[in-house]
Chain A
Amino acid sequence: MRGSKKMANKALIVIFPAVFMFLLYCGCGLETYQQVPILASPLGVTAVNNTPGQILVQFWGENDEFFFSGYYIYMALNENDLLTGGGMPVLNTDGRAGKPTIYNLTPMTSAQQFSFIITSYTNNSPLSVGTTYYFDVKAYSAEYNIYSYSSGITNVIVTQ
């Protein structure tokens, strides 16, 4: 009698935690959330030179991720630089290095179109008439230091 009680106690010691663990595992939401942070890519990027000495870059974004911070616009003199990650980020209007080109953005609840005017190359030299400039855009998370995939590349020839 005493032996069987002992056995029952032992079984309880093993079974209860095992069941507890199993229930926790089942209910812990493993399949409910993505396990890595992913940012949606900005899309529809365009660049035009309608004003002398200026390039207007526009794109659409819909980043509802809570860790979203802003957008980096990248600029290069050839497409391959952007494809290989060699494009230089365009500095924001505040001149703050280490911040995205467009920053202090909060997660969105609807699609938004963004516009940014560029008046110089990334080395601060003025835009050169007759030169083709290439652009792409990526969403950025400062919290996790991650980027979205590229928006796709666009280009513009500066004519004025």
Chain B
Amino acid sequence: MKRLQFFACTAALMIVSFVYLGCDVQAFQPATHLAAPLDLQVISNDTANGFWLQFEGFNTETYFSGYFVQISLDGTNFTNLYNPAVLTTPADTNLTTIQALMVTGETSYYLNVVQIMIPPYQTSLITLHQGTTYYFQAEAYSSEYTNTSRPSEVLSVIYNGP
């Protein structure tokens, strides 16, 4: 009798548990999911006005930290541009290229890229060369989960800046 009670009780709790779990099966996205920034554009690429990139991001995730903008010479192997992107002092590699100051609403982000640091070891600045093709992409980043969004599209640019 006791054994029966035991199994009946366990079974009842299992049913309740599975019903509860069943409500949870609607797992829509990983909790760490971040929306990708998109629409990278060059808005200035000359010696007079400098070299400026722009992209759009809409990240309302509470764990969103900022954006990494990445550069590549071959369109495949990308490295992060660290903050600040315009370097006069060694970069802080713990920071994203653009930090999240606001996490609500759509925002266009502007980035002045003149000189870059290739992480993680080099300490010297790399100067962008006129006439060289560079590839850029951006990713949203969460420091809380140390994960990134999918990358934006890749933008290829022949650098004509200063």
Residues of A within 8 A of B (CB): 9, 12-13, 16-17, 20-21, 24-25, 28-38, 40-44, 60-62, 64-65, 67, 109-113, 149-152
| C-alpha spacing A151/B2, complex, angstroms | 63
Q: Which of B107-161 contact A (CB under 8 A)?
A: 150-153
Q: Which of B2-34 contact A (CB under 8 A)?
A: 2, 5-6, 9-10, 13-14, 16-17, 20-21, 24, 26-31, 33
CB <8 Å contact, A40 and B152? no
List the B residue with the shortest CB-CB distance to A111.
Answer: B153
B143 to chain A, nearest CB (A): 17
CB <8 Å contact, B13 and A21? yes
CB <8 Å contact, A41 and B58? yes
Q: Which of A36, A38, A43 contacts B39 (CB 8 A)?
A: A43
CB <8 Å contact, B106 and A41? yes
| C-alpha spacing A32/B145, complex, angstroms | 11
Cβ–Cβ < 8 Å partners of B151 in chain A = 110-111
A111-B6 contact, Cβ under 8 Å, with A20-B14, A40-B36: no
CB <8 Å contact, A40 and B35? yes
CB <8 Å contact, B10 and A44? no
| C-alpha spacing A43/B138, complex, angstroms | 14
- The count of residues in chain B whose C-beta lies closer than 8 Å to any C-beta of chain A is 34
CB <8 Å contact, A44 and B28? no
| C-alpha spacing A77/B23, complex, angstroms | 43
| C-alpha spacing A42/B57, complex, angstroms | 10
List the A residue with the shortest CB-CB distance to B58.
Answer: A41
CB <8 Å contact, B106 and A13? no
CB <8 Å contact, A17 and B13? yes
Listed A/B pairs (7) with beta-carbon separation below 8 Å: A13-B5, A21-B13, A35-B28, A42-B38, A43-B106, A65-B29, A109-B150
Given contacts A34-B28, A152-B106, 4 further A-B contacts (CB under 8 A): A9-B2, A12-B6, A38-B29, A111-B153
CB <8 Å contact, A28 and B24? yes
| C-alpha spacing A149/B37, complex, angstroms | 14
A36 to chain B, nearest CB (A): 7
A38-B14 contact, Cβ under 8 Å, with A113-B153, A149-B58: no
CB <8 Å contact, B56 and A16? no
A110-B153 contact, Cβ under 8 Å, with A20-B14, A31-B31, A32-B31: yes
